[in-house]
Amino acid sequence: DVVMTQSPLSLPVTLGQSASISCRPSQSIVYSDGNTYLNWFQQRPGQSPRRLIYKVSNRDSGVPDRFSGSGSGTDFTLKISRVEAEDVGVYYCMQGTHWPWTFGQGTKVDIK
Amino acid sequence: QVQLVESGGGLVKPGGSLRLSCAASGFTFSDSYMNWIRQAPGSGLEWLSYISGSSSDTNYADSVKGRFTISRDNAKNSLYLQMDSLRAEDTAVYYCVRHARLAAYWGQGTLVTVSS
């Protein structure tokens, strides 16, 4: 199975500052169709996960442009610019290339 | 808008069975791959199974292979997960999710507790 390693696992952030979360798959996640199925999810306390970013860098509808995804190969990043109180929660990366599709351990973002 | 509503969770004894359902609306259900993903209490996410729109393509995580069965009824816009031989480690919130590989839409989840 592809292991998705996230860091850090805990990320205290000052309101208005930026935050970055790293995600490193244990192998290449480029699919045979040429796409890289690397997605990012946000799970606020008590809620279901919500997709923010799909295929590395495509922001979902309604997601603030403070969220951005980047990367390639085995090194991917979710960046949150100007963190707001509503961004508190756990963030997961996920690969949908190799079955079983797997998630990272999660990064807990909270406010300092 | 897309809506996914899970039901059927509850308390079951080890070795028992449970059938989860997911009612879908707001999209063409028969065209969509559908999935079950679970989250154990205080833990991360585990993708369990997917099924194609025609039911011809299915797959399972090793942790549930041979015990869980995914199915769908396109006439009823419904997805199912038959869970047999349940174990304590199957205790989790189970989510119905639309789209293979991309997991674009999630339901609110249904809690399954396996305990004697």
**Looking at chain A from residue 23 to 82, which residues have their Cβ under 8 Å from any Cβ of chain B?**
31, 37, 39, 41, 48-51, 54-55, 60
CA B97 to CA B54: how far, in whole Å?
A: 17
Q: Which of A48, A51, A101 sits opposite B47 (nearest CB)?
A: A101
Q: Which of B59, B101, B106 sits opposite A49 (nearest CB)?
A: B106
Q: Is A104 in Cβ contact with B44 (below 8 Å)?
A: yes
How open is the CA angle B6-B12-B16, to the nearest 5 degrees?
105
Q: Is the dihedral of CA A70, A39, A6, A75 positive or negative?
A: negative
- Is a pLDDT exceeding 90 seen at residue A96? yes
Q: Is A103 in Cβ contact with B45 (below 8 Å)?
A: yes
CA dihedral A42, B5, B72, A58 (to 10 degrees): -30
Q: What b/e readout covers A66-76, taking b as 16+ CB neighbours within 10 angstroms?
A: ebbbebeeeeb
Q: Residue A51: beta bridge partners?
A: A41
Q: Is the dihedral of CA B72, B73, B79, B84 positive or negative?
A: negative
Q: Residue A54: beta bridge partners?
A: A58
Give pLDDT, residue B5: 98
Q: Residue A99: beta bridge partners?
A: none
Per-residue pLDDT in tens (0 to 9) along chain B, 116 residues = 999 999 999 999 999 999 999 999 999 999 999 999 999 998 899 999 999 999 999 999 999 999 999 999 999 999 999 999 999 999 999 999 999 899 999 999 999 999 99
Give pLDDT, residue A99: 95
At A24-82, the pLDDT tens digits run: 999 999 999 999 999 999 999 999 999 999 999 999 999 999 999 999 999 999 999 99
Q: Is A39 in Cβ contact with B47 (below 8 Å)?
A: no
Q: Is A103 in Cβ contact with B47 (below 8 Å)?
A: yes
CA A88 to CA A110: how far, in whole Å?
A: 5
| SS3 category, B76 | helix
Centre a 10 Å sphere on the Cβ of residue B17 and count the other Cβ atoms it contains. Answer: 12
Q: How close B101 comes to chain A (CA, Å)?
A: 4
Q: How close B60 comes to chain A (CA, Å)?
A: 8
Q: Is B103 in Cβ contact with A94 (below 8 Å)?
A: yes
How is residue A47 annotated by DSSP?
S
Query: How many residues comprise chain B?
Result: 116
How open is the CA angle B101-B1-A95, to the nearest 5 degrees?
15
Give pLDDT, residue B73: 98
